Amino acid sequence: MDNAPDTDLRLAPAAEAGRGTRPSPETRQALDPQSPVARFGADRPLAMDAGVALAPFQIAYHTAGTLNAERSNAVLVCHALTGDQYFAHRHPVTGKPGWWESLVGPGKPVDTDRYFVVCSNVVGSCMGSTGPASIDPATGRAYGLDFPLVTIRDMVRAQAMLLDHLGIRDLLLCIGGSMGGMQVLQWAALYPERVFAAMPIATGARHSAQNIAFHEVGRQAIMADPAWADGRYLDAGTRPAKGLGVARMGAHITYLSEAALHRKFGRRFQAGSAPTFSFNADFQIESYLRHQGLSFVERFDANAYLYLTRAMDYFDLAADHGGVLANAFRGTRTRFCVMSFTSDWLFPTADSRAIVHALNAAAAPVAFVEVESDKGHDAFLLDEPAMFSAARGFIDAAARARGL
């Protein structure tokens, strides 16, 4: 087990040569993550859906809690689109607390006093796992768009390799929201014998046409930025910050709800009580979105955003099983708790109900919880007592069934 951050990887050559800019924080994190890293050599490639055997590659991860002697108390947390392995750890770039500290920690529903919790940065991302900002050993330069397209199934295969590396065969629980929920569903379909309980939150078994459309707008914003340089911005010493910032602004709107936006901002002006008759950020909501865009580009890689949104677009669990979603879960012994939020229009409750119906058709044990909330899609990351209560009840019951 490699418990030290990997410091062997080099910065991209353009950065070494000083061609215009210092490496961005997200590039530094891609090449030198401040977390443990599992490395897999040429003899242990990742078989990807794109037909590529990726090797060598690495997975950055973090853990919390203690693995018991029987190795039966492991929980895998799967992160969302722009998340990372810092689920309960201070983020090295932003300095902010872990993104799921509301749910994971001592005495919380995912209780780190009882469970050993693992969260990996997914393949294709930019916080230490191999992705487009990593060095291609064949060229000595950053992969860029030469990196193979990634799928949710690829992410899960890599996570399974990580768990094997850590000596963990079975999971008490696999849990995640949004893209993390897609990974949970894929885990249950691909490795049902390894997952005792699964909790997919605010997600769907496939991406809708509307969600694909929103992602495409974001990708086009990035690719329209001249600094993107056809994906070779690391070689050129540039950063497509404007395009990535606009992509983040558009996506962030989908994570909220109209009620939440109205409660937070309404039509209030940013400065004073009158318009400036300009295109400055007159409204508070404009200022908020610009801040979201600016802060995002300091911690995320533009090409990684292209790759991960595409992975979500490609996800269609029913299509992978003859067009029948129930086929993905036939014969499973995994117990499920599917959760949605009433104001989530990115992954509405109908998406969760479709998963529940498929699980019922497969005779799988499943509970369904729809949480009343006006906080939109991001509710799964926020203070939602009903979510915490349901999660605690489901996880405690799973632990009792496993004798924990």
In this structure, the answer to whether residues 197 and 228 fall within a common structural domain is no
Token pair 């078994």 is found at 205
Structural domain includes residue 32: yes
pLDDT, position 17: 28
Of 249, 201, 214, whose CA–CA distance to 100 is shortest? Answer: 201
- Picking from 308, 330, 359, the residue at the C-terminal end of a domain is 308
pLDDT, position 97: 95
Domain range enclosing 234: 212-308
Distance, CA of 121 to CA of 86 (rounded, Å): 9
In this structure, the answer to whether residues 234 and 353 fall within a common structural domain is no
Side chain identity, residue 240: P
In this structure, the answer to whether residues 20 and 134 fall within a common structural domain is yes
Backbone torsion region of residue 201, taken as left when φ is above 0, otherwise alpha when ψ lies between -120 and 50, otherwise beta: beta
In this structure, the answer to whether residues 189 and 95 fall within a common structural domain is yes
Judged against a pLDDT cut of 80, whether residue 10 lies above it is answered with no
Structural domain includes residue 3: no
In this structure, the answer to whether residues 229 and 186 fall within a common structural domain is no
- Picking from 259, 276, 308, the residue at the C-terminal end of a domain is 308
Query: What are the Cα distances from residue 106, in Å, to 66, 117, 198, 327?
Result: 12, 11, 21, 38
Q: Could you report the per-residue pLDDT of 374-398, keeping only the tens digit for each?
A: 999 999 999 999 999 999 999 999 9
In this structure, the answer to whether residues 235 and 258 fall within a common structural domain is yes
CA angle 274, 296, 26 (to 5 degrees): 155
- Picking from 308, 325, 346, the residue at the C-terminal end of a domain is 308
pLDDT, position 70: 96
CATH number at residue 341: 3.40.50.1820
Give me the mean pLDDT over the 132-144 stretch: 95
Mean residue pLDDT of the chain comes to 92
Among 169-173, 208-212, 279-283, whose mean pLDDT is lowest?
A: 279-283
In this structure, the answer to whether residues 218 and 201 fall within a common structural domain is no
Judged against a pLDDT cut of 60, whether residue 23 lies above it is answered with no
Tokens representing residue 62 in the block: 């973090």
Q: Could you report the per-residue pLDDT of 266-295, keeping only the tens digit for each?
A: 999 987 778 888 898 889 999 999 999 998
- The answer to whether the beta carbons of residues 248 and 349 sit under 8 Å apart is no
Give me the mean pLDDT over the 65-87 stretch: 97
In this structure, the answer to whether residues 181 and 74 fall within a common structural domain is yes
Structural domain includes residue 7: no
pLDDT, position 12: 30
Distance, CA of 210 to CA of 212 (rounded, Å): 5
CATH number at residue 275: 1.10.1740.110
Residue positions annotated with a catalytic role: 178, 344, 377
In this structure, the answer to whether residues 397 and 255 fall within a common structural domain is no
236 or 13, greater pLDDT: 236
Domains held by the chain: number? 2
Give me the mean pLDDT over the 248-272 stretch: 91
In this structure, the answer to whether residues 284 and 327 fall within a common structural domain is no
Distance, CA of 227 to CA of 351 (rounded, Å): 37
Give me the mean pLDDT over the 66-93 stretch: 96
Structural domain includes residue 5: no
pLDDT band, very low/low/confident/very high, at 107 (cuts 50, 70, 90): very high
Structural domain includes residue 2: no
In this structure, the answer to whether residues 285 and 240 fall within a common structural domain is yes
Structural domain includes residue 77: yes
Structural domain includes residue 1: no
Give me the mean pLDDT over the 294-319 stretch: 96
In this structure, the answer to whether residues 201 and 279 fall within a common structural domain is no
Judged against a pLDDT cut of 90, whether residue 218 lies above it is answered with yes
Structural domain includes residue 4: no
pLDDT, position 214: 97
